[in-house]
Structure formats: structure tokens, C-alpha cells
């Protein structure tokens, strides 16, 4: 009996370790799916995740519930997603920081953003908004560069060391000759509030934070890092203002590495169809995101290329998070 019990235990372990067969995907999903978000509740990434969870859940015929896991610029949540069972019941959304910039600034990142994930597909592109107080004496990249050469470097804020805002500020220094000094804040909302209060004159914030403040005249837009945004179509991009920079800043959906291909395709299909809905497109624009689906394999190749490009920015600017 003892040997029989051991044999049964070994068989159970072997069954648990056996990858899901393609035909089993026909029953997927048979229970709730977790969307593990590495963003704080109430922020732009959280709003994006909850919107897609609702719409994709309806298409898949199951509830997708959101679980927030924040900390270390999103890398804690990303690590938890990477180490979750690759069965299709955990998905996540990654921004630039978690999957492209983190490898450039964290010397001991606890996950590989390429090998430890299955790329489901691109959700869309966004931009980082360079904003200033209304009385700031520069209105574009050229006059900002001229101003920075007249005295001390211009102080600018971002939502933290190694953030996308920090990187976009360093690109202005490296490629546009703007003399800047970085001041990290605990979040984009905190930075925006301090700018409105007059404590700092220049900052880089996400579109969801900055767009309404520019529209209300509380801050003015200098430029956008990334592509010109439909949310503020009058604001010219870095490249349009002579800065040698052309990279998409993407939001991407991922699952743990090893998820069965038919299940990944089901999730990808639900994402693609959701992003084609007119009301989703409009709601993403309100967050400063231009809906743009790109298939997982193609987006994975883009990530590989972009990681190397941003690493060079980090090395030249000596950006490192210890």
C-alpha cells in the first residue's frame, strides 16, 4: 500500500507538470482570470486595466478580476506575474518601466522581461508630456535649450528615478543640448500639484495626468516625448522639434512564459477585438493612449530592440536604481 501511495503521488506530480494539451484550450476559460496590475489603484494604468478586464471578460465569457501589486516602480507586480502558473489564468499589463526601462536601470532585476513572459499583444501607444507653469519663459524645445544655457541647469521633476519621465528628460539633455537637473517625486500627481503651487517650474508627466491640466490652463505644454498625441494634437513631438528621437512608448499585455499557444491566441483575440470598439478607443484617448494592437510575436521583437536603445540612454546618463 505504501508503494502504491508513492506511485500515485508521483503520477499526480507528473500530471501537474504536463503542459496543457491544445485540445484542452477549447474549455478555456472555465474559471475567473486574474489581471495582476503593477500600478497603484486609481492611476492611469489601473484605469486602463480595469477597462480592459471588463470588456475582455465579456468576450471570453468569464470574469477578469483586478489585483494591484505595487512597489519598486512596478517590478514587484511584474515579478509576481512572471512566476504565476502559465495556465492562462494570470495576465498582466506592462508599461515602459516594467518591461523596457527596468532592465536598463536595475542591476539585479528579479525577472527577465523577455524570457519570463508571453507577449499577448500591444494595447496602444502613449507619450510623456513636458509641461511647465504658465509663467515659465520657454514654450518649446529651442527656447528651453536657450534658457538652460543662460545660468544654472533648469530643474525638472519626474515621478521617480528610472521612470519614463526621467528617461525622457535625459533624452532632452543628450540630444537637444538642454541643461537639466532631475528632481524625483513620489508620483506624477504629486509633481503636478507642486508645479501648480509654484514649487517647481518644469516637469514630465504621463498624458492622463497632464492633459486635463493643460486643457484647463493650469500648466502649459512644451512638447511630448514619443509620438504626437491625439489627446493634445496641437503639441509637437520631440522629433518634430528637432530632437533625434523616435521611439514608441507602449502599453502591452503579457502572461507568464509557457502559456499554451491556443490559450494565448484566445486572450490576444479578445484584446484585439476589444481595442477595435469605438467607445474603448475614445476612453483610451481620455487616458492619453492611442489604441494600437500589435500581435505578441511582433511586439516581443520590438521590446528586444527598444531595451537595447534605452540601455544606451541609461548608460550615458548614469541612471541606476540600487
**107: CATH:** 3.40.190.150
For residue 132, give its domain range.
127-241
Per-residue model confidence (pLDDT) at position 18 = 43
Per-position DSSP letters for 54-122, written without gaps between them: HHHHHHHTS-EEEEE---GGGHHHHHHHHTS-SSSSEEEEE-HIIIIIHHHH-TT-SS-TTTTEEEEEE
Dihedrals phi, psi of 163, to nearest 5 degrees: -75, 165
The C-alpha cell at 105 is 536601470
Per-residue model confidence (pLDDT) at position 104 = 84
- CB contact at 8 A, 300 and 121: no
312 and 286 within one domain = yes
Quote the CA–CA distance of 50 and 35 in Å, as a whole number: 9
Coil, helix or strand for 38? Answer: coil
Coil, helix or strand for 35? Answer: strand
93 and 28 within one domain = yes
In a domain, residue 10? The reply is no
Give the number of domains in the chain: 2
In a domain, residue 207? The reply is yes
- CB contact at 8 A, 247 and 161: no
In a domain, residue 6? The reply is no
254 and 112 within one domain = yes
CATH of the domain at 137: 3.40.190.10
In a domain, residue 174? The reply is yes
Q: Which of 282, 256, 308 is nearest to 124 (CA)?
A: 282
Residue keyed to cell 513631438: 237
Per-residue model confidence (pLDDT) at position 24 = 67
Q: Hey, how many other C-beta atoms are within 10 angstroms of the C-beta on 136? A: 18
Per-residue model confidence (pLDDT) at position 114 = 95
101 and 48 within one domain = yes
88 and 19 within one domain = yes
What CA–CA distances, in Å, run from 147 to 135, 195, 279? 13, 18, 42
Quote the CA–CA distance of 26 and 28 in Å, as a whole number: 6
Coil, helix or strand for 312? Answer: helix
Quote the CA–CA distance of 189 and 5 in Å, as a whole number: 58
H-helix or E-strand spanning residue 238 = none
237 and 139 within one domain = yes
Q: Which of 221, 241, 261 is the last residue of a domain?
A: 241
Q: Which of 26, 81, 25, 79 is nearest to 49 (CA)?
A: 81
In a domain, residue 9? The reply is no
CA angle 133, 48, 50 (to 5 degrees): 135
- CB contact at 8 A, 203 and 191: yes
Which positions of the chain have pLDDT values less than 50? 1-23
In a domain, residue 121? The reply is yes
Strand partners, 320: none
Quote the CA–CA distance of 30 and 86 in Å, as a whole number: 15
278 and 192 within one domain = no
In a domain, residue 2? The reply is no
Query: Within its chain, how far is the Cα of 74 from the centroid?
Result: 9
Torsion of CA 85, 90, 91, 93, to 10 degrees: -100
Amino acid at each position: 500500500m505504501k508503494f502504491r501511495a508513492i506511485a500515485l503521488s508521483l503520477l499526480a506530480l507528473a500530471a501537474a507538470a504536463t503542459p496543457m494539451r491544445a485540445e484542452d484550450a477549447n474549455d478555456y476559460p472555465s474559471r475567473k482570470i486574474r489581471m495582476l496590475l503593477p500600478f497603484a489603484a486609481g492611476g492611469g494604468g489601473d484605469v486602463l486595466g480595469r477597462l480592459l478586464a471588463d470588456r475582455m471578460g465579456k468576450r471570453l465569457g468569464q470574469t477578469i478580476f483586478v489585483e494591484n501589486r505595487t512597489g519598486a516602480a512596478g517590478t514587484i507586480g511584474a515579478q509576481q506575474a512572471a512566476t504565476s502558473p502559465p495556465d492562462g489564468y494570470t495576465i498582466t499589463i506592462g508599461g515602459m518601466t516594467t518591461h523596457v526601462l527596468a532592465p536598463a536601470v536595475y542591476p539585479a532585476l528579479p525577472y527577465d522581461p523577455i524570457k519570463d513572459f508571453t507577449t499577448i499583444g500591444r494595447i496602444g501607444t502613449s507619450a510623456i508630456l513636458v509641461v511647465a507653469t504658465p509663467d515659465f519663459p520657454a514654450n518649446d524645445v529651442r527656447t528651453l535649450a536657450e534658457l538652460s544655457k543662460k545660468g544654472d541647469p533648469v530643474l525638472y521633476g519626474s515621478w521617480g528615478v528610472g521612470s519614463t519621465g526621467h528617461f525622457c528628460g535625459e533624452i532632452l539633455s543628450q540630444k537637444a543640448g538642454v541643461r537639466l537637473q532631475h528632481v524625483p517625486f513620489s508620483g506624477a500627481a504629486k509633481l503636478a500639484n507642486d508645479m501648480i503651487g509654484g514649487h517647481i517650474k518644469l516637469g514630465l508627466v504621463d498624458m492622463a495626468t497632464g492633459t486635463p491640466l493643460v486643457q484647463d490652463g493650469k500648466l502649459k505644454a512644451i512638447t511630448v516625448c514619443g509620438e504626437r498625441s491625439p489627446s493634445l494634437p496641437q503639441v509637437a513631438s520631440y522629433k518634430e522639434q528637432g530632437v533625434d528621437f523616435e521611439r514608441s512608448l507602449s502599453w502591452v499585455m503579457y502572461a507568464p512564459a509557457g502559456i499554451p499557444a491556443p490559450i494565448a491566441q484566445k486572450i490576444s483575440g479578445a484584446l484585439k477585438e476589444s481595442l477595435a470598439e469605438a467607445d474603448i478607443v475614445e476612453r483610451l484617448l481620455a487616458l492619453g493612449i492611442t489604441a494600437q494592437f500589435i500581435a505578441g510575436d511582433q511586439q516581443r521583437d520590438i521590446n528586444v530592440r527598444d531595451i537595447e536603445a534605452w540601455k544606451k540612454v541609461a548608460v550615458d546618463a548614469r541612471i541606476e536604481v540600487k
